[in-house]
Amino acid sequence: MVGCIAESISIPGMILPSTRASHSAGAQARDSPFGLNMITCYVKYIVRPDLIAEFEGYARMWIPIVERFGGQHHGYFLPAEGANNVALALFSFASLAAYETYRHESQTDPACQEAFAYAAKTKCVVSYERSFFRPVLG
C-alpha cells in the first residue's frame, strides 16, 4: 500500500519540544498554527518519470485529505531539475498523537482508499520513505 498512512511506525529516540515556557518556545507557539508539539512529516517518493502527471493526480488527492483530518499540508514538490524520479511531500500535525489519530482513522476513509487504489492502478509510485521533524520557527 502506498501513502503516508499505510504502515505502522515507531520513532525511537524522538525528542519532542519541551512544554516549559521560554522566550523562544513562546515565539514558536505564536508562529505555529499548531503550537509546541507540532510534528512535520517529510515523505520522499521515488516515482516513475513517465508517470509524473499520474503522480501529480495522486498528490492532489492527498492534500485535502490531510487537511480534512486536521493537518496542514505544505504541498508536494515534483521533479523539475536534477533527478527526474524524486518527489517530496511535507505536512504537519499538532502532535505525533494527532498524526497517529489521522493515520488510524484514515485507513477506513473512502477518499484515502480511493487514493491508494489510484496509486496501485497507475503504478506511479515506486517507493517512499518517511521522516518526522520538529520545526524550529522564527
For residue 122, give the H/E element and its range: helix 110-122
Does residue 57 sit within a domain?
yes
Query: Which residue would you say has higher pLDDT here, 59 or 3?
Result: 59
- DSSP states of 53-75: HHHHHHHHHHHHHHHHTT-EEEE
What tens digit of pLDDT does each residue of 52-87 get?
999 999 999 999 999 999 999 999 999 999 999 999
3-state SS, 74-113, equals EEEECCCCCCCCEEEEEEEECCHHHHHHHHHHHCCCHHHH
Is 106 part of any domain?
yes
pLDDT confidence of residue 131: 96
Spatial CB neighbours of 80, under 8 Å, sequence gap ≥ 6: none
In total, how many domains does the chain have? 1
| CATH number for the domain that contains residue 116 | 3.30.70.100
β-sheet bridge partners, residue 43: 89, 130
Band (pLDDT 50/70/90 cuts) for residue 136 is confident
Domain-located, residue 65: yes
Q: Above 70 in pLDDT, residue 49?
A: yes
Q: Which domain holds residue 98?
A: 38-133
Look at residue 118 and give its three-state secondary structure: helix
The answer to whether residue 23 sits within a structural domain is no
Write out pLDDT tens, residues 89-133.
999 999 999 999 999 999 999 999 999 999 999 999 999 999 999
pLDDT over 80 at 32, yes or no: no
Highest mean pLDDT range out of 8-17, 25-34, 62-71?
Answer: 62-71
| 46 within domain boundaries | yes
- 66 part of a folded domain: yes
Kindly report the average pLDDT of the chain as a whole number: 81
Residue 31 lies in a domain: no
Within a domain: 79 = yes
Whole-model pTM? 0.74
Residue 54 pLDDT: 98
**For position 36, what pLDDT does the model report?**
78
